[in-house]
A and B are shown apart, each in its own frame.
Chain A
Amino acid sequence: MAEEKKLFKVKIDNISVEVEPGTTILNAARQIGGEIVPPAMCYYSKLQGSGGKCRTCLVKVSKGSDADPRPMPKLVASCRTTVMDGMEVANITSPEVLDARKGVVEFLLLNHPLDCPVCDQAGECHLQDLSYEHGADATRYEFKRRTFDKVDLGDHIKLHMTRCILCYRCVYTADQLTEKREHGVLGRGDASEISTYISQSLDNDFIGNVIDVCPVGALTDQTFRFKNRVWFLKPVDAHRDCENPKCCGKTVLWMRGDEVFRVTARKDKYGEVEAFICDTCRFDKKEAKDWIIEGPRKIERNSVISQGHYVNTVKPKDALVEVLDGRQPKLVFNIHSESQVNRPEIDLSKIPGPAHSDDFKK
């Protein structure tokens, strides 16, 4: 007779949930969903061993378990702490947690350059969301921020070490997804940095996924660099039959008109990719005809990316042609003949890297 699995009863912010033994508090909260889910910058459910680095998911355990009801002495990282039967956890109901999280965000932003106007991640950056929700509006840091030079990791990936929060997600991705890991974290403490050691380029079939897992703009797509802002692009779900057996081929195309500016994996509501995609799909298939487009991707209403994307709109019938007895109205002025932006002879999405001044001199 199969032994019935005992489920642990946990209470998170006074909401009860029954989860399997061995589940972390964060995952138990995600089973409930909603506002009580602690934010996570380093934990990534698809990567083994991730979590415990960034401390944004700190929660207060007000009751350890039924057997030992004492509270835990300090706030714990919910992504690394497993639940016990009868555990009671406070996340947003505890002012102590919110205060600690505010401190953590301030620490994460200590050395962050805050160059969001330049950064390609802006608009889909978890650090932006986190600091907007939990952070203070000004820094108290008075010293020079650490600076690094920008590094090209291969042809397709740009590393901005100044923006990095050392979440180690990319290291785990490279370790677990690709055959040979070629980059890691060098140095200690304030001096630690993501690096390939001797400026080795990263070329693996799946190394492009480090761009997707990066919660900030430290690792960005060189083929998309400075091309457009994400909120001006239209994300559509698309797929193709990828030759690579490990690649799912299901992606999001970031389009403007018929141009494909960027290809990313599909991300769920926690910003984690649903399945990893290969570098061929990500970097080389930049034409709409390479893809089978499924339809517009649903973007959460609170994201800036959803601006200008209207769903269920009804376009009113243009009565002008009918009134004019079938004649088309005379176009007095065509903006495309005068505008210098979006000229057809300059195809930004086809330029391999970022555009430069000579690209516009054609």
Chain B
Amino acid sequence: MQALTNRAKAVDRRPMSFAEKLYIPAIAKGMGITFKHLFQRKATVSFPEKKREFSPVFRGLHVLNRDEEGRERCTACGLCAVACPAEAITMEAAERKPGEENLYREEKYAAKYEINMLRCIFCGFCEEACPKDAVYMSETFAPANYQRKGFIYGKDDLLIPHPKENK
């Protein structure tokens, strides 16, 4: 049979010599490797006490951004929803009434905005599509939940805290 690569090594099937039958050198070699790892850097972290840092490009749970005055940036343009390959985002738009200028940045805003985290694949297309810097993906992931309905994130869950009221 022709080998697929030239790295294949035939198994040595000769009978073992006396020194090999003793197994002692082989055991010593194996223990040496084990002891070496005691003094090396650990590959794991003790998770709940210690948390590993996320990469700066990590795509985690979405947030809906506000501007410096705390007004919602989202104008419900639908570009995140049309970019979403999993069709996780839905929204309903409304017109800003006089007197609501401190709540919404533009004349149109998202009255309802929902991301279904069960559908979301965290690809980050919504963040890329957003022309208003409204959707960002944060450096955390969606917390576990006992029920599926806990993964339907509405505006209450997604909006970042008001920069002035929550000081």
Contact = CB atoms under 8 A, between A and B. Distances in A.
A232 B84 CA distance: 13
B91 A231 contact: no
A339 B106 CA distance: 25
A117 interface: yes
Contacts of B132: 117
Interface string B90-112: 11111101001000001110011
Nearest to B79: A117
B60 interface: no
A300 interface: no
A356 B93 CA distance: 9
A340 B114 contact: yes
A339 B152 contact: yes
Contacts of B154: 340
Closest 10 CB pairs of A and B: A117-B77, A354-B95, A229-B78, A333-B148, A341-B90, A355-B94, A338-B149, A226-B93, A118-B108, A341-B112
A348 interface: yes
Interface residues of B, number: 28
A116 interface: yes
A122 interface: yes
A357 B149 contact: no
B111 A357 contact: yes
B93 to A, nearest CB: 5
B93 A355 contact: yes
Given A116-B131, A231-B82, A341-B90, A355 B77 contact: no
A355 B152 contact: no
B152 A226 contact: no
B81 interface: yes
Contact of B94 (A117, A307, A338, A360): A360
Given A341-B92, A353-B95, A355-B94, 9 more contacts: A116-B77, A116-B131, A117-B75, A117-B77, A118-B77, A225-B95, A333-B149, A337-B149, A355-B93
Interface string B114-158: 101000000000000001100000000000000011001010000
Q: Which of B91, B112, B131 has the most C-beta atoms of chain A within 10 angstroms of its own C-beta?
A: B112
A200 B126 CA distance: 43
A129 interface: no
